[in-house]
Copies of this chain bind each other. A is one copy, B any other.
């Protein structure tokens, strides 16, 4: 950091990796600070928000929507159900699927949620729009390269 010589791309990539690591930690902490007051965990809030769209979802839908495995979603829904925030109902036609819905309490709580991520998003707004755009583009490009590598 003290040296003024040009950094190699390898060094820059490594540095960016830890920068991303850092902001993920910090942002999770920031979101949790909001949520602790309400007594929800971050994944629980994410699931509530996903359900708030109105259309009911299966565990599989939730997993896809919230970027977690169906088995993980099952656990989160278990705990939300215990708190009376969501409701499970087996589909009448296809008895394999279980629909998950917000209860009245769940909907009320979801509406009162400081939109999770808002805190994070608000902080990012100190950056100029052009820079935000570049970051989005760059992150997506990097993710795409990684996903491509994965296939091989």
Measured CB to CB, the residues of A under 8 A from B are: 6-7, 9-10, 12-17, 19-27, 29-30, 33, 67, 117, 119-127, 129, 131-136, 138-143, 145-147, 149-150
A146 and B120 form a contact (CB under 8 A): yes
A139 and B16 form a contact (CB under 8 A): yes
Q: Tell me whether chain A's interface is mostly helix, strand or loop, or mixed.
A: helix
* Cross-interface CB contact of A17 among B16, B67, B117, B142, cutoff 8 Å: B117
How long is the Cα–Cα vector from A31 to B39 in the complex, in angstroms? 33
B142 and A123 form a contact (CB under 8 A): yes
Assembly of this chain: how many copies?
2
* Cross-interface CB contact of A125 among B6, B13, B21, B150, cutoff 8 Å: B13
Return A135 CB to nearest CB of chain B, in Å.
5
Contacts A/B (CB < 8 Å), 16 sampled: A9-B132, A12-B132, A13-B120, A13-B123, A13-B124, A17-B117, A17-B121, A21-B67, A23-B139, A25-B67, A26-B147, A29-B150, A123-B146, A132-B138, A134-B135, A135-B135
Return A16 CB to nearest CB of chain B, in Å.
5
